[in-house]
Every structure is written in structure tokens, then in C-alpha cells.
């Protein structure tokens, strides 16, 4: 049965919401559990299609896996398999991080390329180049990756681009390298720091996470029992910020760390939102029409403006006063939501990496289609301020990264529900 989300716009939001655990932290940390050779208790692990897919992979290779609410227990004492079948690999992008984990733990791995939102090419050349430079033998042929840990010599590797996934893969592989590993031009996202924190509590030796140079020492013995609490999801927090910004009203985002998305918070404040840190997170209020054009939005590696926030902020700017210019530098195909927003009455000019958004008075609800995770969330957010009803199709993408987006927004007072598509013709649109 196909499902869609129905939003009736016009209601301001009011209340407080617990920000879910970070998807992009949980996924590499679950993969890192393979290194632990014991039991890992992961708290605040979001219950998503992507984390379920990662847990299915861990079970397939031989881990014991148990979920109780937001606490996941992974027992990686007995790894039985080093291959990951296509059907599991293709369900998410982060499956590729199992390459480094399996090589470090078992010395070999075979898998197809990963899945993930279609935001562009999304190659894995940096992952393979780094692993091979550190002594592994990893080859991709016809979409199949075969690898062994080779000499495991370790050493220094300079990433030509601070890829998040490649940094994670090299951190995990680095734990088995004889001479330790130094990753130069490493990704600096908060999720990298969270992974390092888990790895250190598991008995490994990771230093410099959050900076451009990360060092993984050799020789530490993993602990038999590890526990770790996942950080709050900064992009989910940005999503609820943007929801309040477009719908108006106020909310407290419990667990939100403003420092993890300060570029976005600063821009929304400059546009007219009021924010203040609270004891438990971040309070946001938006009343009256926002002003766009408060500086160009250029996405880039952390701590630049996060690409994952671009779709959400685009939605905010469609009804803000003035013009806003966006430059999307991280992915070559991350504007799919703009076509749908234009269909709702937004005034958007697209030219390659650049999008110029001229604020209109209001959007009009209609049936729109999701093409990727954050683009889908942007369309739901647009429905909150559009006149009439907005039906968002293809919401499986959204469920990959949000625990019931409609229930969260409904708890803030939105008129929103998930509906099952009985009649097929809705799909033909
Ligand atoms: C992670 O993806 C996140 N996903 C993405 O969030 C996020 O948008 C992205 O980092 C950038 O910050 C997870 O953590 C699960 P990259 P990842 O490797 O690791 C190019 C979401 O919505 N590249 O930093 O795949 C690549 O094509 C998702 O939660 C290579 O060229 O991103 C892209 O242009 C979407 N070769 C750029 O680097 C490689 O070997 C950034 O990719 C690897 C990447």
C-alpha cells in the first residue's frame, strides 16, 4: 500500500519537541560496533528505515541485535560473514562504511556499491583510494567491491575532499593498521566527533576528530562492553526550526545543539526568527513575514552551510520577503524539490548550481512528489504554510530519516496526517 502525507496549511505551530537521535551519527556508529568484539549498548538511536536497514546488515553478518525503544544492543562477538548482499547494501548510503569495519575486524569484505538518495553521482573513489593507500587491497569491478586488509601498514592519507563517509571508513579501517593512521583534510562534522567518542569508549585511540587532522592509534584493545548515547540530529532540529519559520508560532526543540547548525540558525535569526538557548535545547519563535536575502546561501563541508539544510531553508525563502540566492556545492542533483515548490506557486530560477528564490505572498497546496529525503521534508514543510491541502507522495524517502515526521508536526499543532493511497490514480500524477 502506498502512503502519502496530507497537510492543511495555515496553522501556527506551538509546543515542544524532543529532537531525535542523529541518523548520520547512528549509522556509522552501528557499523563501528562490528569492531567492538563484544556488546555495545547504543542509546538515543533513532528508529528509522535507514537504521533498521543497518541493523539488518549487522544481523546478516552474525551480530546479535536487539532494539528496546531508542536503545539498541549489538553483540558483535561472533562475526560469521564478510559479504553484504546487494539487497541490503542498496537500502542506504552508509552501508559502505561496513567496508572499513569488516576489513578491520575480519581482514576481508565483499559488497556491492551503496544506495542512498539520488543526489548525484555519489562515487566511492575516495573511500577506495584511502583504504588502498593505507595497505588494504580494495577493488570495485562491475559494481562489486572485493577487498582484503593487505599489509594494513597504515600511515598518512590526504583526502582530496573532506568526504564524511570516506573519513568514517578510514577511521574504522585505521583501528587495524600497524603504524596507526593519520587522515588529513578529514570531514569535521559533529557526527565524526560522535563516532570518535564511541570508538574511544570501545577502547580504540582516536584523536583530533572535529579538526582537519584525525589520528587513529594502533594497538589499543577493544572493551568487551561499550555504551554510548547518540547526539541529537542537527538536520531534524533544522527541519523543526524551518517548520516554525514558515508556519509561524513558537516551539522548544529539546536536545537541539545550536552550535551544530549555527550557520542555519544565524540565517533564520537574520531573517526574523527569534531564538534563545534554553536549559534543555533551543527556543524559536516566528511571527510576521520573514525577510529573505540575508546573505547568499553557499553549501559546503562543515562548518559551512550544511547541504542537508538547503532544501528546508529553500522552502522558508519561498515566502520570505525579497530574493535569496543559493549555491549548492556538495551535490550535483539536490534541487529536485524546487520544481515541486514552483508547482505550488514559488518563484524560483534555476541555473546549474545556483537557485534564485523570489519570495511570494503565499504558496498554494497541491499534490507533490518527493525525490529524496530532505527534499521530501521540505515539501511537507511547505504544506504547513500553503493555502489549502498539500498531498506529499513517495514518502518512503522521508521515513528513511525522520521518525514519523507527521506525528512530530501534529504534536506542534499542525493539521497533518499520513494516509494510505487506496486509488492508484493518485500515483499517476
Ligand atoms: C554524508 O553523506 C551524509 N550521509 C549526507 O546526508 C550529507 O549530505 C553528506 O555527508 C555531506 O555532508 C550520511 O552521513 C549517511 P560525502 P556522504 O562523502 O558521506 C563526493 C542526509 O540527507 N564524494 O561527504 O555520502 C560526493 O559525491 C544525507 O542525511 C566523492 O566524490 O557524503 C559529494 O559530492 C544526504 N567521492 C561530496 O563528495 C567519494 O568517494 C560529499 O560527499 C565520496 C564522496
**pLDDT tens digits, one per residue of 256-313:** 999 999 999 999 999 999 999 999 999 999 988 999 888 899 999 999 999 999 999 9
Select the more confidently predicted residue: 59 or 118.
Answer: 59
Cα(12) to centroid of ligand 1, in Å? 34
What average pLDDT does range 217-240 have in this prediction? 91
The percent of residues above 70 in pLDDT, for the chain, comes to 98
pLDDT(210) > 80: yes
- The strand pairing partners of 192, in sequence order, are none
pLDDT, tens digit (0-9, with 9 covering 90-100), for 243-272: 999 999 999 999 999 999 999 999 999 999
| pLDDT score, position 428 | 47
| pLDDT score, position 1 | 75
Distance CA(163)–CA(169), nearest Å, equals 10
20-24, 330-334, 389-393: range with lowest mean pLDDT: 330-334
pLDDT, tens digit (0-9, with 9 covering 90-100), for 333-342: 899 999 999 9
Mean per-residue pLDDT over the chain, rounded = 94
What average pLDDT does range 358-369 have in this prediction? 97
Cα(122) to centroid of ligand 1, in Å? 7
- Catalytic-residue membership of 117: yes
Is there an atom of ligand 1 within 6 Å of 310 CB?
no
**From 45, 117, 242, 385, the catalytic residue:** 117
Distance CA(233)–CA(325), nearest Å, equals 26
From 23, 24, 130, 145, give the residue whose CB has the most ligand 1 atoms within 8 Å, as the site to mutate: 24
| pLDDT score, position 424 | 43
Is there an atom of ligand 1 within 6 Å of 173 CB?
no
Q: What is the pTM of this model?
A: 0.96
What average pLDDT does range 351-370 have in this prediction? 97
Q: Which residue's alpha carbon is nearest to atom 28 within ligand 1?
A: 308
pLDDT(37) > 70: yes
The percent of residues above 90 in pLDDT, for the chain, comes to 87
The helix (run of H) or strand (run of E) holding residue 348 is strand 347-351
Contact 312, 381 (CB under 8 A): yes
Contact 223, 203 (CB under 8 A): yes
| pLDDT score, position 306 | 98
pLDDT(209) > 90: yes
Is there an atom of ligand 1 within 6 Å of 165 CB?
yes
| pLDDT score, position 302 | 98
8-12, 84-88, 272-276, 378-382: range with lowest mean pLDDT: 84-88
Pick from 10, 8, 26, 12: which is nearest to 233 by CA?
26
**426, HSE (Cβ side, Cα atoms, 13 Å):** 20
Distance CA(268)–CA(274), nearest Å, equals 8
What average pLDDT does range 56-84 have in this prediction? 97
Q: Which residue's alpha carbon is nearest to atom 25 within ligand 1?
A: 165
Instruction: Give the DSSP letter string of 212-264.
Output: SEEEE-S-PPPPSEEEEEPPB-HHHHHHHHHHHHHH-EEEEEET--GGGSHHH
pLDDT(42) > 60: yes
90-94, 243-247, 324-328: range with lowest mean pLDDT: 90-94
With cut-offs at 50, 70 and 90, classify the pLDDT of residue 423: low
pLDDT(427) > 50: no
| pLDDT score, position 118 | 80
Closest ligand 1 atom, CA of 191?
A: 14
From 23, 99, 163, 329, give the residue whose CB has the most ligand 1 atoms within 8 Å, as the site to mutate: 163
pLDDT(425) > 70: no
pLDDT(16) > 60: yes
pLDDT(117) > 90: no
| pLDDT score, position 153 | 96
What average pLDDT does range 310-326 have in this prediction? 97
Cα(94) to centroid of ligand 1, in Å? 9
Q: Which residue's alpha carbon is nearest to atom 5 within ligand 1?
A: 308
From 118, 236, 330, give the residue whose CB has the most ligand 1 atoms within 8 Å, as the site to mutate: 330
With cut-offs at 50, 70 and 90, classify the pLDDT of residue 426: very low
Is there an atom of ligand 1 within 6 Å of 408 CB?
no
Contact 57, 98 (CB under 8 A): yes
Amino acid at each position: 500500500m502506498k502512503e502519502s502525507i496530507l497537510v492543511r496549511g495555515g496553522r501556527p505551530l506551538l509546543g515542544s519537541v524532543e529532537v531525535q537521535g542523529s541518523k548520520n551519527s547512528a549509522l556509522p556508529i552501528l557499523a563501528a560496533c562490528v569492531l567492538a568484539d563484544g556488546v555495545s549498548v547504543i542509546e538515543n538511536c533513532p528508529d528509522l528505515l535507514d537504521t533498521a536497514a543497518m541493523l539488518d546488515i549487522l544481523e546478516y553478518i552474525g551480530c546479535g541485535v536487539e532494539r528496546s525503544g531508542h536503545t539498541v544492543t549489538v553483540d558483535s562477538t561472533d562475526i560469521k560473514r564478510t559479504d553484504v548482499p546487494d539487497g541490503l547494501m542498496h537500502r542506504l548510503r552508509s552501508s559502505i562504511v561496513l567496508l572499513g569495519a569488516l576489513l578491520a575486524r575480519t581482514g576481508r569484505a565483499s559488497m556491492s556499491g551503496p544506495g542512498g538518495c539520488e543526489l548525484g553521482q555519489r562515487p566511492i573513489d575516495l573511500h577506495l583510494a584511502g583504504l588502498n593507500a593505507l595497505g588494504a587491497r580494495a577493488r570495485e569491478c562491475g559494481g562489486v567491491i572485493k577487498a582484503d586488509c593487505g599489509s594494513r601498514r597504515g600511515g598518512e592519507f590526504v583526502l582530496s575532499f573532506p568526504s564524511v563517509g570516506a573519513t568514517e571508513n578510514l577511521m574504522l579501517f585505521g583501528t587495524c593498521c600497524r603504524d596507526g593512521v593519520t587522515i588529513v583534510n578529514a570531514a569535521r562534522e559533529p557526527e565524526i566527533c560522535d563516532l570518535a567518542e564511541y570508538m574511544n569508549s570501545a577502547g580504540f585511540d582516536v584523536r583530533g576528530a572535529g579538526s582537519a587532522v584525525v589520528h587513529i592509534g594502533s594497538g589499543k584493545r577493544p572493551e568487551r562492553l561499550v555504551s554510548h548515547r547518540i547526539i541529537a540530529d542537527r538536520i531534524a532540529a533544522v527541519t523543526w526550526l524551518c517548520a516554525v519559520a514558515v508556519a509561524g508560532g513558537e516551539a522548544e526543540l529539546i536536545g537541539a545543539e545550536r552550535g551544530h547548525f549555527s550557520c542555519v540558525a544565524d540565517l533564520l535569526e537574520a531573517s526574523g526568527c527569534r531564538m534563545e538557548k534554553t536549559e534543555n535545547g533551543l527556543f524559536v519563535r516566528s511571527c510576521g513575514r520573514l525577510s529573505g536575502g540575508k546573505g547568499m546561501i553557499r553549501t559546503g563541508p562543515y562548518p559551512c552551510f550544511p547541504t542537508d539544510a538547503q532544501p528546508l531553508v529553500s522552502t522558508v525563502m519561498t515566502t520570505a520577503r525579497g530574493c535569496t540566492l543559493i549555491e549548492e556545492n556538495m551535490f550535483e542533483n539536490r534541487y529536485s524539490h524546487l520544481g515541486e515548490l514552483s508547482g505550488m506557486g514559488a518563484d524560483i530560477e534555476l541555473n546549474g548550481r545556483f537557485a534564485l528564490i523570489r519570495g511570494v505572498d503565499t504558496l498554494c497546496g497541491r499534490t507533490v512528489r518527493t525525490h529524496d529525503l530532505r527534499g521530501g521534508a521540505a515539501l511537507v514543510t511547505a504544506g504547513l504554510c500553503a493555502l489549502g491541502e498539500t498531498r506529499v507522495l513517495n514518502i518512503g524517502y522521508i521515513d528513511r530519516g525522520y521518525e514519523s515526521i507527521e506525528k512530530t508536526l501534529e504534536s506542534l499543532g499542525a493539521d497533518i496526517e499520513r494516509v494510505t493511497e487506496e486509488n492508484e490514480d493518485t500515483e499517476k500524477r
